[in-house]
Amino acid sequence: MSAQKPKPRVRQSVALSSDLVDEVRRLAAPELRRNLNGIVTVALQEFVERRRREEFEASMAEMARDLDVTRESRQITNDFLSAEGDGLTHS
The mean pLDDT value of the chain amounts to: 90
Distance (Å, whole) CA 27 – CA 43: 12
Distance (Å, whole) CA 63 – CA 69: 6
- pLDDT tens digits, residue range 30-54? 999 999 999 999 999 999 999 999 9
Does pTM surpass 0.85? no
- CA 14 and chain centroid, separation: 25
Distance (Å, whole) CA 25 – CA 40: 11
Instruction: Give percent of the chain with pLDDT exceeding 70.
Output: 90
Distance (Å, whole) CA 11 – CA 37: 10
- pLDDT tens digits, residue range 65-79? 999 989 999 999 988
More confident residue, 21 or 3: 21
